[in-house]
Amino acid sequence: MHFTTKLPSSAAQALPLIRTLTLITIAGAAIASRLFSVVRFESIIHEFDPWFNFRATKYLVSHDFYSFLDWFDDRTWYPLGRVTGGTLYPGLMVTSALIFHGLKALTLPVDIRNICVMLAPVFSGLTAYATYLFTCEMKDQSAGLLAAAFIGIAPGYISRSVAGSYDNEAIAIFLLMFTFYLWIKALKLGSAFFGALTALFYFYMVAAWGGYVFITNIIPLHALVLVVMGRYSSRLYVAYSSWYALGTLASMQIPFVGFLPIRSSEHMGALGVFGLLQLVAFASYVRARVPSKHFKVLVTVSATSLLALGLAGVVGLTLSGVIAPWTGRFYSLWDTGYAKIHIPIIASVSEHQPTAWPSFFFDTFMLIWLFPAGVYIIFQELRDEHLFVIIYGILASYFAGVMVRLMLTLTPIVCVCGAVALSNILDIYTNLEKPLETDDEDKTKKEEDQSVLRLGSMSKKPLIGVFSNWSRAFVLGSFTIYLFLFVQHCTWVTSNAYSSPSVVLASQLPDGSQHIIDDFREAYYWLRKNTPEDAKIMSWWDYGYQIGGMADRTTLVDNNTWNNTHIATVGKAMSSREEVSYPILRKHDVDYILVIFGGLLGYSGDDINKFLWMVRIAEGIWPDEVRERDFFTARGEYRVDQEATSTMKNSLMYKMSYYRFTDVFGRQPALDRVRNQRIPSAITDPSVKPISLNTVDEAFTSENWIVRIYKVKDLDDFGRDHAIANAFEEGKRKTAGGRSRSAPVGGLSKGKARVLRE
């Protein structure tokens, strides 16, 4: 503000251009810093959920919009299927499809995959712009530019928006910031137009991400705080009413949301505040016409009765089931231990874990300590819109502490507050006004204190400033270093922590060159090309979306964890003995089982490490048949070596993971590189019985053994039990081959003995 008035007019005219260029550069930097994975690997969809979004987008692109909304997907959750069109947020797919069709109309041949990969980086550029607008409303444009630069490269946001991270959050953070900007604008101007725009972008947000509930609650909270603080105004009334009425109606158009805005507890706050605002508006209307003594009585009586009525109504409707009670996911936001006890499936997701303290620093670097400073500065002025930042800051800090994933919503406000604080510092320390000059100009003011000076023509307030060049240089210099470090840290974090597609792994060869470990795609592509098109694949739910997206085969469970029982069924099949599992597999028409095994390579995210979750989830449904305790040794250790419990060793998962694993090592000890334990090997120790599988056959194992696929056997031709049939075959093979070390008869009896023992 100081500069614009002071600069010569030609420079002032150039300012918008410089500002635009700066914003474009920031957007460019935001996009470029998200391209590590594309440069290092390729244009590929990352991780798990994005594969579903990608698959849904491909469906939308090849079908029309209505058949997309009506899409019943019979290739997931076999045999249940999923009403995909009605259970997803279509905003992301529709955005990509619109871009795709737009480019197609221009006859530009851009692959839908590339659009999906690049969507998040491009939207991060827009987020930078939205944050700029938002911060401009809070302080000024210089703070806005800083905030834009911060959000552009802050790791907390990059973590969810690198190229290939094709998830709802990719566009949702832009929508979040832009909706907030429009809300502030509507509130400041009291404009129904901006209120309607807020509703429009709120609608887009509802269409894009389940996190829209955050907006649904924070705007009413802001309005409520304003009312409570006695800051009610007609501007607030206009802005809120136009947003709530239009936004709620619009949000109900999304099939997945439907009637939730009037039926679920999460949305009741917005409705309540809407009602409250009508009352307040009515009250202020009445106050103008009724004597104040009567008015007080009127307010007390009506407020109490209305409050009681409203509460009773909400409680009554909740109890009668018209309004849905809070969901489990919601409770887990208040009690971090809740999920672990009641919904293990939610607790099993790593991004739902509580945040560790270092990750705040990791994701926002210096902004985390500028953040409180920014909030403090905002408190100093405390305009209506500043309250919004404070509320947002408090809520987001809490939620970010509860769940790692919600760091994402905290990051924008940290950037805004950090920018406000830093810009404030810069404003003061880069103000080159010299007290001496002022003295020369206006000598009559010389009796004023040295540190408090007046700039007669510039402002009426006394100018408080720092005039020592040393302190200026020191502070500015140190902050320049901080900014450098910030950029370096962000780049380092993005490059090292957030740019791995996780579908493809990279390793270094001894000569320093990069070697790509592509086991996942190897196995998925094998499934895609060499199994019947209607084959049913059973795997742990983590890999459901990837199998659907890359192998294009029917899965039993996937990352849309809507049916706990079905997941528990898979967990039970994996954690039980073959004889117990086989009927489950048959009943679910399973053709192939896919397990992830990292023991050979040292890939720690494998199924044996996730095994306890399978056990726990299965135990939740069948406490009598699956017991977590049975998988621990007597000393309470989770082991896979010689000391592993017999339940562990006989579980289907253990057998499928380590089947023939020891053969790779020959006479060397078979070391599981993830758990650093020796797998008992029949080659080195004759007393060990090699793992035998009776009901499944190894069908495919990827190059580094990360993915192992087993074919479920058909029922035996002679109606025998598989174990007996297998023992018979083995015995026959040994006798027929004659190469067996043991005598032919011994071979047979050995087979029988095995049957008896099992």
Partner 1 sequence: MRFTALLPALLVGVAAFTPPSTDFTVRSYLRTVDLMKSYVRDSSSFILENTGAEPQSSFYLAVNASYTDTESPLSAKLAMYEVKLKSDDGSTSLKYTIDDEVNEDQMKYVKIELPKSIAVGQSVTVQLASAVVRELVPLPKKIKQAEVQNLVWQGSRVAYIPYPVVKQRTKIKFSERPANAYSRFKDDPTIDGTVLTYGPYENIPPQTYEPIRVKYEYNQPLIEITKLERELWVSHSGGNLATEERYWLTNSGAELTDHFSRVRWQATTMAQQSTPALKAAQVHLRAGVRDVYFTDEIGNVSTSNLRDDYRDPVLEFRPRYPVFGGWNYSFTLGWNHDLARSVRETASEGIYVLRVPLLEGPVNAMYDEADVLVVLPEGAKVLAVDSSYKDMTEELTSLYSHLDVVGRTVVKLSARDMTDEHRRNELYVTYELSKDAQYRKPIRVATAVFAVFFAIILLGKVDVSISKKA
Structure tokens at 620: 């939740």
Cβ closest to partner 1, residue 59 vs residue 526: 526
Cβ closest to partner 1, residue 266 vs residue 730: 730
In the complex, the smallest distance separating the C-beta of residue 661 from partner 1, rounded to whole angstroms, is: 9
**Residue 78 DSSP code:** T
Cβ closest to partner 1, residue 69 vs residue 110: 110
In the complex, the smallest distance separating the C-beta of residue 598 from partner 1, rounded to whole angstroms, is: 15
In the complex, the smallest distance separating the C-beta of residue 525 from partner 1, rounded to whole angstroms, is: 5
Cβ closest to partner 1, residue 194 vs residue 232: 194
Cβ closest to partner 1, residue 638 vs residue 665: 665
Strands 677-679 vs 670-672: parallel, antiparallel or unpaired: antiparallel
In the complex, the smallest distance separating the C-beta of residue 611 from partner 1, rounded to whole angstroms, is: 22
Cβ closest to partner 1, residue 607 vs residue 619: 607
Cβ closest to partner 1, residue 43 vs residue 684: 43
Residue 243 CA to residue 237 CA, distance in Å, equals: 10
**Residue 327 DSSP code:** P
Three-state secondary structure string covering 629-687: HHHCCCCCCCCCCCCCCHHHHHEHHHHHHHCCHHHHCCCCCEEECCCCEEECCCCCCCC
> Which residues are at the interface with partner 1 (CB under 8 A)?
41-44, 106-109, 516, 518, 521-526, 528-530, 550, 660, 663-664, 697-703, 705, 711
Residue 552 CB: number of other CB atoms within 10 A? 16
In the complex, the smallest distance separating the C-beta of residue 575 from partner 1, rounded to whole angstroms, is: 24
In the complex, the smallest distance separating the C-beta of residue 158 from partner 1, rounded to whole angstroms, is: 22
| 393, 417 contact by CB (below 8 A) | yes
Structure tokens at 574: 């994996």
The residues with which 62 forms a beta bridge, in sequence order, are none
In the complex, the smallest distance separating the C-beta of residue 529 from partner 1, rounded to whole angstroms, is: 4
Cβ closest to partner 1, residue 34 vs residue 521: 521
Q: How far is CA 72 from CA 76, 81, 82, 88, 257, in A?
A: 10, 7, 6, 12, 17
| 675, 611 contact by CB (below 8 A) | no
In the complex, the smallest distance separating the C-beta of residue 39 from partner 1, rounded to whole angstroms, is: 13
Nearest residue to 118 via CA among 23, 39, 60, 178: 39
Q: If DSSP codes are grouped into helix, strand and coil, which group holds residue 595? A: strand
| 617, 339 contact by CB (below 8 A) | no
| 119, 96 contact by CB (below 8 A) | yes
In the complex, the smallest distance separating the C-beta of residue 107 from partner 1, rounded to whole angstroms, is: 4
Residue 662 CA to residue 638 CA, distance in Å, equals: 20
Q: How far is CA 492 from CA 365, 448, 454, 497, in A?
A: 12, 51, 46, 8
The angle at the Cα of 71, spanning 69 to 75, to the nearest 5 degrees, equals: 150
Q: Give the dihedral sign, CA 637/404/343/394.
A: positive
Nearest residue to 623 via CA among 562, 563, 568, 557: 568
In the complex, the smallest distance separating the C-beta of residue 383 from partner 1, rounded to whole angstroms, is: 21
Cβ closest to partner 1, residue 36 vs residue 360: 36
Residue whose token pair is 């700029």:
132
Residue 732 CA to residue 696 CA, distance in Å, equals: 19
| 172, 209 contact by CB (below 8 A) | yes
Cβ closest to partner 1, residue 411 vs residue 702: 702
Structure tokens at 445: 């003011």
Q: If DSSP codes are grouped into helix, strand and coil, which group holds residue 145? A: helix
Cβ closest to partner 1, residue 114 vs residue 471: 114
How many Å separate Cα 34 from the centre of its chain? 16
| 621, 568 contact by CB (below 8 A) | yes
DSSP3 helix / strand / coil % (the chain, rounded to 5)? 65, 5, 30
Cβ closest to partner 1, residue 572 vs residue 734: 734
What per-residue string of b and e applies to 625-635 under the rule 16 or more CB within 10 Å gives b? ebeeeebbeee
Residue 712 CA to residue 565 CA, distance in Å, equals: 22
Cβ closest to partner 1, residue 76 vs residue 645: 76
In the complex, the smallest distance separating the C-beta of residue 38 from partner 1, rounded to whole angstroms, is: 11
In the complex, the smallest distance separating the C-beta of residue 592 from partner 1, rounded to whole angstroms, is: 11
Cβ closest to partner 1, residue 58 vs residue 352: 58
Amino acid, single-letter form, for residue 358: P
In the complex, the smallest distance separating the C-beta of residue 500 from partner 1, rounded to whole angstroms, is: 15
Cβ closest to partner 1, residue 8 vs residue 109: 109
Cβ closest to partner 1, residue 57 vs residue 348: 57
Amino acid, single-letter form, for residue 121: P
In the complex, the smallest distance separating the C-beta of residue 657 from partner 1, rounded to whole angstroms, is: 13
In the complex, the smallest distance separating the C-beta of residue 494 from partner 1, rounded to whole angstroms, is: 22
Nearest residue to 697 via CA among 592, 555, 574, 583: 592
Number of helical H runs and strand E runs in the chain: 34, 11
In the complex, the smallest distance separating the C-beta of residue 679 from partner 1, rounded to whole angstroms, is: 14
In the complex, the smallest distance separating the C-beta of residue 45 from partner 1, rounded to whole angstroms, is: 8
Structure tokens at 660: 């023939």
Structure tokens at 384: 């209506």
Cβ closest to partner 1, residue 521 vs residue 616: 521
Residue 635 CA to residue 631 CA, distance in Å, equals: 11
